[in-house]
Each structure stands twice: as structure tokens, then as C-alpha cells.
Amino acid sequence: MEVTGEPLRHPLAQKFLAALEHSRKDGYVVTQPAGLTMPRGFLADAGRILDFPVRPDDVWVVSFPKSGTTWTQEMVWLLMNDLDFRTARQVCLPERSPFLEYSALVPEEGKAGIADTIELAQRMTSPRLIKSHLPPALLPKQLWTIKPKVIYVARNPKDAATSFYYHIRLMYDLKLPLEEYYDAFLANVVYYTPYWTNVLEFWKIRHESNILWNTYEEMKKDLRAVIRKTATFLGRIVTDEEVERLEEHLSFSSMRQNPATNYDGLVQRLRSTTGLPPVPQDLAFMREGEVGASRQRMSPEMDRRFDRWIQDNIRGTGYDGPI
Ligand code: PPS
């Protein structure tokens, strides 16, 4: 099966693309299958991703962007590696746990400075921990036959969308006011949208034995419980003392101070290879780490629009994840 893409024709698309410093001259496409908005360059790698060889002892962390992926990866990597905090501090997380489609997203001007992440993931020794933000229809086909462990992490869409806004400003200097970005997000003009294709497809299969459904909100509320649940899923036994050490290592403040999990250095390098100025003072990869804070940034009208959009999308599905 081949992944194809029709040009994204929504009226807001041009405005969104023009507001990106690297205006993506090749534009965005809507993929078939999945109906996902992606930079056109993604299509060149989509087939290699579908055919990516999966191993039974892989662990995959999958999410919609900005849903707690990095937090989950760090927790899972430590659980998979006998709580090797030393290596976790020395080797940056993307090296320990590659982001499968990352190089397919980088604009042409930045490609020379980065490795082919699909190849990198393919060459890794087992057991691998691989990150992806793709929906099921675009993930490697062997995930559904070999069935390695997959940990999905969901976050409420208002916070995920807002966090993504600051991320796109951080990475690509998006010059669009927040409210106009929300318009684009709700219209599925932002890359990786529609949000619901990703979340609902995984929610439907959350009870399969190789899938674990976690949420950012659960992690904020009771990280210890999520650590224990994830350890059990991975077949690892953790003592109370180990859970405590993990909790400390995984706190927002320690992950923010840890150069192996705080990607500000990586972002800085990408910005300089793509000719962008240094990261503005008000932006950071580890930004806020809160639940519900995005509502304070939205106009009451936008908040209501999000609520209507949420209801329209979950109606009849029985969805009980974070909203
Ligand atoms: S990415 O780029 O898509 O992989 O981003 P992702 O890691 O999924 O999400 C980034 C958001 O997660 C927050 N984060 C944390 N919150 C609480 N505790 C810890 N330890 C933690 N680590 C990362 C990060 O700050 C981003 O959320 P916002 O709302 O922007 O702060």
C-alpha cells in the first residue's frame, strides 16, 4: 500500500504556512490513508515507515504531539533499563529512544544537519524504545501483526493544542497570534491534526493486551500509580524506593534541569542550521507542565468552540479520556 497526499486546500492553510518562518514552499498535504495533515516531504518517507521492520521486544510510545511523550519515554526507558539513572543523564533521550518520523518533518534546509531517524531506529540494538506521533494507519504495518508493547499517552486537546503552538514557535518561528493558531488547529490545518484521528483510534484498541493507555492527567495526579501500572505492563518489578527515585527523576523541575531530557540544546542547533535566530526568552521545551492552564489563554468564545468541537467529535464513541 502506498501513502498518497492531496494538497491541503483549506482557506486557512495559506495563512498558517505563510506564518512559518520556513514557509514550506512545498506546502502541506492530507494523507491517504488517515487524512492526516503533514508537510509534503513526509510522503517521501511514509512508505519506509509503513514497511519499517518491527521486533517483538520493541516498546513503542505513541501520542498526539505535546501529550507527555518525553515524560513517558523517560519513565519507560528507565523501567526497561534497570533504572540506569547514570546513562539516562549522560545520553540524551532522542539517542536512547528515537523519534521515528522526525527526519521526515524537518524542512529541506535543516536536513543536512540531522540523521535519518528511520535508519537510526532500524539500526538500534534491541530492546528498542521508539517514539512516534503517527495514527495507526500510518504506523509500521508489522505493529499489528508482531504486536510489540505499545504505550499510548493522551492529553486533553486544549492543553495539547496550546503546548503545540509554543512548540511550533520554538522550532519553526511560527508568527501567528494564539487565537488564529487555534482556528487553524480546529480546522485541521496544523501538521499532525486531526487530533481525534490519533486519540480515538488508539482509544478503541486500548484494551488489547499489547496496548497500555496512559494519560498526561493521570501522570500529573498520581505519577507513582502510573509508574507502577507501566512497570507491571512491561513485566518489571519495582520496589517502593525505586518508585520514589523514579518519581523524583521524572518531576517537571528535574526533567527541565536535565540536559538529556530538556531539548533546548537540540532546538538551538536545529534553529541555527535552518537560519533562525536564537530561541526567544519566553520559549522553552519544558514549558509549563500543568493541566488546564491553556484555558486561561483562550478567549471564552474559543473555549466554547473547543468544547463544542470536543462534543461533536466524541458523540457516540463512548470516549472517556481527558477532554
Ligand atoms: S513532543 O515534542 O510532542 O514530544 O512533546 P511531549 O513530550 O509530548 O509534550 C511536551 C509537554 O509535556 C510537558 N512535560 C512535562 N509535564 C510535567 N512533568 C514532566 N516531567 C514533563 N516533561 C514534559 C512539557 O512541559 C510540555 O507541556 P507544556 O504544556 O508545553 O508545558
Cβ pair 187, 12 in contact under 8 A: yes
Residue 252 in grid coordinates: 517537571
Q: How far is ligand 1, taken at its centre, from the CA of residue 250, in Å? A: 11
CB of 160 closer than 6 angstroms to any ligand 1 atom: no
Q: Per-residue pLDDT averaged across 240-248, rounded?
A: 98
Res 200 pLDDT > 70: yes
Of the two residues 28 and 114, the one the predictor is more confident about is 28
* Confidence label for 23 from pLDDT (cuts 50, 70 and 90): low
Closest CA to 246 of 96, 84, 94: 84
Q: Which is the closest atom of ligand 1 to the Cα of 72?
A: 7
CB of 6 closer than 6 angstroms to any ligand 1 atom: no
Residue 291 in grid coordinates: 493541566
Res 38 pLDDT > 90: yes
DSSP 8-class letter at 21: S
Tens digits of per-residue pLDDT, 156-194? 999 999 999 999 999 889 999 999 999 999 999 999 999
- Name all domains of the chain by residue range, CATH numbers in brackets: 48-314 (3.40.50.300)
10 is catalytic: no
Q: How far is ligand 1, taken at its centre, from the CA of residue 314, in Å? A: 24
Provide the whole-model pTM: 0.97
- Which member of 10, 22, 133, 207 is catalytic? 133
Tens digits of per-residue pLDDT, 289-302? 999 999 999 999 99
Helix (H) or strand (E) holding 150: strand 149-154
Handedness of CA 105, 109, 112, 114 (dihedral sign): negative
CB of 132 closer than 6 angstroms to any ligand 1 atom: no
Tens digits of per-residue pLDDT, 260-314? 999 888 888 888 888 888 888 889 999 999 999 999 999 999 999 999 999 999 9
* Confidence label for 145 from pLDDT (cuts 50, 70 and 90): very high
DSSP 8-class letter at 101: T
